[in-house]
Amino acid sequence: MPEIRLTRTLKVPAEPAAEALGEVLNAIADQEGPWRGFALHVGLGDLRLPDVGYVSVPIHLTAERDPQSKLVFNIAFTSRNLAAAFPGFAGQLALEEAGMGESTLVLRGSYEPPMQLFGRLFDSALVPRVAQRSLENFIEEIGAACEARVNQREADFVRYRYYTQVLR
């Protein structure tokens, strides 16, 4: 099982990012709102084809907060359709404090190539790094969503404070 460790810097602190991360993961798991039909994706160029589009695979995600830390979520996902034909992933999404007002989103775990020996050959020789590239895209999307949620909350709070102060 290939091991993965990917990181993405977030321009928001870890605690509010963890709250947003929990909401995003739950929305994906429950297929709610804009997260309905969420899919992993890779560009056709990653499949050694003309880079004129992408391939997406809708996933079934499970996520739960790690009982040891409020900044860590245990996650697993498989393809919603034909799970035996696509890699499955199990690991963690965690937030780590970074510089002032920043945090690092860390995805670590392993994926299991499908179809046993043929899947391993396919993953390593024919289309290397496709599973990893889909996970890189995953952490980018999740990170962007967390930043957007935290920033929106802060903007709403500032707007609320401004109007409550002005209207007094």
Query: What total number of domains does the chain contain?
Result: 1
What is the pLDDT at residue 122? 47
What is the pLDDT at residue 126? 45
Q: What is the pLDDT of residues 37-68, one digit of tens each?
A: 999 888 776 666 677 787 788 999 999 999 99
Collect all residues with Cβ–Cβ distance below 8 Å to 17 and sequence separation of at least 6: 10, 95, 103, 105, 146, 147, 150
**108: containing domain:** 3-166
CA distances from 140 to 8, 40, 41, 118, 144 (A): 7, 11, 11, 29, 6
What is the pLDDT at residue 109? 96
Q: What is the pLDDT of residues 151-167, one digit of tens each?
A: 998 777 776 667 777 66
Q: What is the pLDDT of residues 83-135, one digit of tens each?
A: 666 778 999 999 999 988 999 999 999 987 655 544 454 455 445 567 788 89
CB contact at 8 A, 131 and 110: no
What is the pLDDT at residue 81? 84
Q: What is the CATH number of the domain that holds 143?
A: 3.30.530.20
CB contact at 8 A, 75 and 38: no
What is the pLDDT at residue 148? 96
